[in-house]
Structure 1
Amino acid sequence: MKRKNHVNIYFITLIITSISLFSCKKKIEVETPILLKPKIEYLKLDGNSANQLTISETEKDSYAINTTGEDPYVLTKGISKSLHQDSVVLTFEYKSNKDIDKLQLFFGPSFSEGRSVSAISVPAASTWKSYSIVLKKPIKDFSWGKDGDLLRLDFGTNSGVRVEIRNIYFRKMNSNEQKEFDAQEAQIQKDETIKEALSAYLKKRYSSRISAVKVNQTEITISGEVSGEGKFSLSEIYPNDTLVIKAHFENKVSIDNGAFRITLPRKDIKGGLEYDRLLSRWVVVKEEGDKESIDSHARYADDIESVQTVPPGVLQSKKGLGGFFMNQYASDLDDLGIASITVNIPFTAMMYASPAANTIPHTYGGKEYYFSTSYLASIDNALKLAASKGIVVAAIILVQKASECADPAIGSLLQHPDFTPEGIYTMPNLTTDEGVHCYAAAIDFLASRYNRVDNAYGRIHKWIMHNEVDAGLTWTNMGRKPMLNYLDTYIRSMRICHNISRQYDPNSEVMGSFTHSWVDPIELYSSKEMLTALQQFSTLEGDFQWGIAYHPYPQDLNEPKTWNDNKATFSSNSALVTFKNLEVIDQWVKQPENKYEANVKRTLWLSENGTNSRTYEDKDLAEQAAGFAYAWKKLKNLDGIDAIQWHNWIDNRVEYGLRIGLRRFPDDETDPAGRKPVWFAYEAAGTEKEDEVFDQFKSIIGINDWNEIMRPVF
């Protein structure tokens, strides 16, 4: 089960949008101590500025620090003279009894998240080690380094860390750092080129078009029309192609001016692997001498023949549970009237490239992959129970970073090449033939296993693709990319899952996962801009029936009184969408321009959300339950919202102090996993007992009638 740290997301690891791929990679190695050099100005720490830490100067330019809270930081004193233009590497020596989970630097004297950078964790060290961070780009972007400027050093998010730090100064890049920085700058320029090309592609109106792509068991048929003078051909675009910057097109079939209809074999060989053209896009290419350019928007398969017929999942109510797993409290499914659940499936935790003990094989594209039977058993049991009760299931598809995969070989195939260490999960690597094949094989295995006519292993009805992609640095990492570049890859992942799963279930839906960031980005992107661009791509490239898995947590995850969220307004351009202003996303999903093929409302689940009880005192428990009652009365009146899945089901110790579950901590001393007032409110929701239970919360919310909480969107 995936454990989520939203405190970490929203309050600690905010990454600024103005820095794109700055070089902040550390170089950690055992070295002899740095020799003191008379001309170097060592930064001095200001003990009077300490927050949630104690600090003492043990000797000249050397300090002992002990963190005492979750936001420990200290300021340097102002530098006495401007930095040399080449002095862009912050370097120091340190020892630490624990890892510093996130070193964050703020560039003052004016401090804000927008003038900060976050480095990766600083490993524990019992002997002196050096740590270096290249800060050339932020120094330039923030015009930092003038006489009197200073830094704020944030030493992670944990108390009880003992750090010794000395000889803090700026130096010139060494040859390796310069080489790495230059490579990163080249990548930034390439990313900018792709971004501009994608933006132009979305705005372009081509003279030719592809109108349909139909796939049966053996063939694929592409139809369209060509308009204009010149030589034209139909070209296949693979998932690992970047369409908008392609200069040469392969697998072309000549087409004449006017309408065309071309049928091709469905299977092909690519990179030595059997390739299913179900995953491809198709585009009209115009040739003018040696120059080739696209003359239509590309189109994915939009009519996929299924190998079987299975019944669609039908919601019996809006009540659901998030992150369901088998335990002794599974009776809650009946007691609470649960109609839907989400289940986390980090498939890289059970996938192997070669035979291993206690695995079963799965053949995809002529190649075998292997899956852990013990890991599968836990998923099977949960999904079979859900199927027996007619519960609709959404699988959250997660790709672990390489270091956490069960098989290093799978990790090396599937970790995105631009993954950066702050990521908890990675965007799948769709840049290589092998990566595409491996990812498609995993989806094919899950879709074929959990969409059987006999429901032998249970069902998956919907596929939530990765996690909170608008907070992609943390949850679906492929580095710091422009939004369109990131979304382009995310759509390819969504399309692969959609096209493969539709072979086994013609009603299958993929869903995009988003935080509560409507127009105010949590990290690099906002959910509204991504959803709007996703709709644009879908309209131009052949629509597919994707849905939305939204996480409208309160503005402050600790604060259950969501009706006080000041960043959640009733404007269509609200900064956030929380429980307070669900009307905003409800209105968005019902707009004709945002519907599937302009006439079918997209599925909208509130797939992960909850209100917190700060403690288990009566007042805090009542406020948590009131937060749920408020949210339920909202979504009950909003027909654009199909379901809510409460997270957490049971309080979780690794949620950094949050108690957002329906039940207490399993190891609570007084009432282990006991049902909280919010559990009973959840039980009553949608039943004849609803008002009897809910009315006690009106005074907490400050209303006399539930109609008072509904507001129009402007």
Structure 2
Amino acid sequence: MRARIISLLTAAALAVGTFSALPVCAASSSRAAKSTAAAKAVSGVTINSVVIQGGSVVVTTSGTAATDDGLYHLYAQDPVMAGVQGTEVAKAPAGATAVFTFPLGNNTATSMLYKKFTVVGVSSGALKDLSNDMYILNPEAAATHTQARHDAGKKGLLPAAETIRDTKTLKAMGVHQISYNLPVGDMISGGGVNYTYNGKNYSFNAGIVGQYDVIVPAMNAAGIQVNLILLCGANSGILIHPLSRGVGANYYMFNTVDQAGLEKLEAVASFLGQRYSGTGHGTVDNWIVGNEVNARNEWNYMDPAAGLAGFAKAYADELRVFYNGIKSQNANARIYAATDQEWQSDNPALHYGSREFLTQLNAQIMAEGNFDWSLASHPYNFPLYEPNSLTSKPQVTHTQASRYITMSNIDVLTDFMCQKQFLNPAGQVRSIVLSEVGFTSSAAMGSNELLQAADVVYAINQANANQHIDGIIINRQRSDMGEIAQGLDYGLIGANGVAKQAYTWFMTAENPNTIAAASAVLGKDIMTSLIAR
């Protein structure tokens, strides 16, 4: 996000599109009816369900299609496959309904955990694709390391790396959650921690893994929930998507296309899910896949020739790999897609708007079987250095036409996610975490420490007022020199190690006296400015 400050400066000149209004998001007690996992079939046969039952996978279909041999053949496919590609795993008599049952083979060379399935038939002597594709819908049924979650509260912080083991201070600050990066390329570079998965041996960097082996249980012991952000950097080797290679960027799309890369990604997902699910190294409740992925040029690079549909399909595939791999270890873990504050694209040549991206992502997922993915968003002020969160901006409105999502119109995001087509398989609004939001105290940008502190108070209380938000992570505990150079002095503690006003007000953000003082700084009453959902 910080690298995009120049593009945000020019965004005011962009025209506002026309969008239909959404109804106010319903309360959780009256959420919409359960959504269907089945997608439209390409012919007369519809796969309705693919579920794990014990050690088997059971696939059910409806609808009919004529076949030469009177049979339906079920094929298992990798994400990149289509049509009649893949391997036959079962067959059943052609009829109005069909049931296929075959071994799951979890953690074997013939594992079906990450496969999608399609019905194929012989017609006029040729194989033809007869149905929609669908993945396993309940990987959590295979979980053997399920752990209770650490859902203690919404207020969170991006901790300073140099003091991350100081959980006593974090706990004293009232921190209930932290977000922390896990560069996957670092973990796969080197060895020392061996892992066998699906019949193949892998080794992960003992030094890197060892760091998380200390951090995660320490946070758990302090009652602090852990959100780890999975990043595909330039050193990620075969884990980088083929269409993401050879171009300089901060991060890249993960690889679900070629066999070696896909298998290693599956192993990474399973390893992380197992190791950090109460197996002696603590528990990670929430896994965020990537960073601001809709800002594709800088934060999740993929060749723009893929287009929005191709980009969203590639991300849906990697999201599902992490979902199936982690949930098959810990049924209570959550896996989050990651977007930024850019609701409509400020530069279509470089970024997708998070609204259009989420729409396409959801469509790609629903087409192959709905699963319970969650959403991590970064609702920074607009512009990033805006010193007062309650200052009205024409680019920040309470309609779907808003160009940006900030804390002052976070209702736009949650209302969007309340739409029936975006609900999870249980018919509930997906978990939403505001996994990174910060406020500058830079005098060069017209701000100061009081304005920063007041913005933090407002943000925390606005998150508390919205039942669909499960966490807000303030960026950051200590100021970063790279951000300061951009005028983004986000730290609650300055680069000089001295606590700012925001440090104190972060701790007491829900206190009426702190709210009153912050309201006076912002020039508006915070409590009457909150939008409840």
TM-score tier by shorter-chain length is 0.7 to 0.9
2:58 maps to which of 205, 208, 221: 221
Q: Which residue of 2 aligns with 1:279?
A: 114
Deviation at 1:629, TM superposition (A): 2.0
1:388 aligns with 2:221: yes
**Conserved 8 A contact 1:518-1:576:** yes
2:79 maps to which of 234, 239, 245: 239
**Conserved 8 A contact 1:470-1:521:** no
**Conserved 8 A contact 1:587-1:640:** no
**Conserved 8 A contact 1:249-1:292:** no
Q: Distance in 1 between matches of 2:223 and 2:167?
A: 15
1:694 aligns with 2:530: no
Alpha carbons of 1:293 and 1:661: their partners in 2 closer, same or farther (altered >3 Å)?
farther
**Conserved 8 A contact 2:308-2:352:** yes
Q: Which residue of 2 aligns with 1:8?
A: 3
Q: Distance in 1 between matches of 2:280 and 2:194?
A: 17
Alpha carbons of 1:711 and 1:679: their partners in 2 closer, same or farther (altered >3 Å)?
same
The code of the aligned residue for 1:709 comes to S
**Conserved 8 A contact 1:628-1:678:** yes
The code of the aligned residue for 2:319 comes to M
Q: Distance in 2 between matches of 1:634 and 1:659?
A: 22
- Number of residue pairs matched by the alignment: 497
1:581 aligns with 2:409: yes
Q: Secondary structure of the residue that 2:381 maps to in structure 1?
A: coil
Q: Secondary structure of the residue that 2:88 maps to in structure 1?
A: coil
Q: Which residue of 1 aligns with 2:469?
A: 641
Mean CA deviation greater in 624-633 or 614-623: 614-623
Q: TM-score, with normalisation over the residues of structure 1? A: 0.65
Q: Distance in 2 between matches of 1:438 and 1:268?
A: 16
Alpha carbons of 1:265 and 1:562: their partners in 2 closer, same or farther (altered >3 Å)?
same
**Conserved 8 A contact 2:515-2:526:** no
The code of the aligned residue for 1:11 comes to I
The code of the aligned residue for 1:322 comes to L
Q: Which residue of 1 aligns with 2:34?
A: none
Q: Secondary structure of the residue that 2:101 maps to in structure 1?
A: strand
**Conserved 8 A contact 2:378-2:435:** yes
Deviations 1:164-192 (A, max 9, x none): xxxxxxxxxxxxxxxxxxxxxxxxxxxxx
Q: Distance in 1 between matches of 2:270 and 2:160?
A: 23
Q: Distance in 2 between matches of 1:606 and 1:490?
A: 20
**In terms of Rg, which structure is larger?**
1
**Conserved 8 A contact 2:345-2:351:** no
Alpha carbons of 1:535 and 1:486: their partners in 2 closer, same or farther (altered >3 Å)?
same
**Conserved 8 A contact 1:340-1:391:** yes
Alpha carbons of 1:14 and 1:614: their partners in 2 closer, same or farther (altered >3 Å)?
closer
Give the gaps of 5 or more residues in structure 2: 16-37
1:513 aligns with 2:346: no
Q: Distance in 2 between matches of 1:264 and 1:204?
A: 22
Q: Secondary structure of the residue that 1:517 maps to in structure 2?
A: coil
Deviation at 1:708, TM superposition (A): 3.7
1:489 aligns with 2:317: no
Q: Distance in 2 between matches of 1:329 and 1:262?
A: 53
Q: Aligned ranges for residues 407-446 of structure 1 at < 5 Å?
A: 411=237, 413-419=238-244, 420-446=246-272
1:607 maps to which of 413, 418, 435: 435
Deviation at 1:248, TM superposition (A): 4.6
Deviations 1:612-666 (A, max 9, x none): 111499961111112112222322211111110111221111223321111111x
Deviations 1:405-436 (A, max 9, x none): 4xxxxx1x222222252321121222111111
Deviation at 1:701, TM superposition (A): 2.0
Q: Which residue of 2 aligns with 1:262?
A: 100
Q: Secondary structure of the residue that 1:513 maps to in structure 2?
A: strand
Q: Which residue of 1 aligns with 2:295?
A: 471
Alpha carbons of 1:253 and 1:457: their partners in 2 closer, same or farther (altered >3 Å)?
closer
More strand by share: 1
Q: Secondary structure of the residue that 2:390 maps to in structure 1?
A: helix
Deviation at 1:7, TM superposition (A): 3.3
Deviation at 1:309, TM superposition (A): 5.1
Query: Relative contact order: is structure 1 or structure 2 higher (C-alpha 8 Å, sep ≥ 6)?
Result: 2
Deviation at 1:513, TM superposition (A): 0.3
Q: Distance in 1 between matches of 2:332 and 2:451?
A: 39
**Conserved 8 A contact 2:40-2:367:** no
Deviations 1:326-360 (A, max 9, x none): 617543321121111112111220214xxx5x612
Q: Which residue of 1 aligns with 2:323?
A: 498
Q: Aligned ranges for residues 661-672 of structure 1 at < 5 Å?
A: 661-665=491-495, 668=496
**Conserved 8 A contact 2:113-2:324:** yes
Q: Secondary structure of the residue that 1:700 maps to in structure 2?
A: helix
Q: Distance in 2 between matches of 1:619 and 1:472?
A: 30
Q: Secondary structure of the residue that 1:279 maps to in structure 2?
A: coil
Q: Which residue of 1 aligns with 2:148?
A: 312
Q: Secondary structure of the residue that 2:337 maps to in structure 1?
A: strand
Q: Which residue of 2 aligns with 1:339?
A: 176
**Conserved 8 A contact 2:370-2:424:** yes
Q: Distance in 2 between matches of 1:15 and 1:295?
A: 49
Q: Which residue of 2 aligns with 1:142?
A: none
Alpha carbons of 1:478 and 1:216: their partners in 2 closer, same or farther (altered >3 Å)?
farther
**Conserved 8 A contact 1:239-1:436:** no
1:568 aligns with 2:396: yes
Give % identity.
22
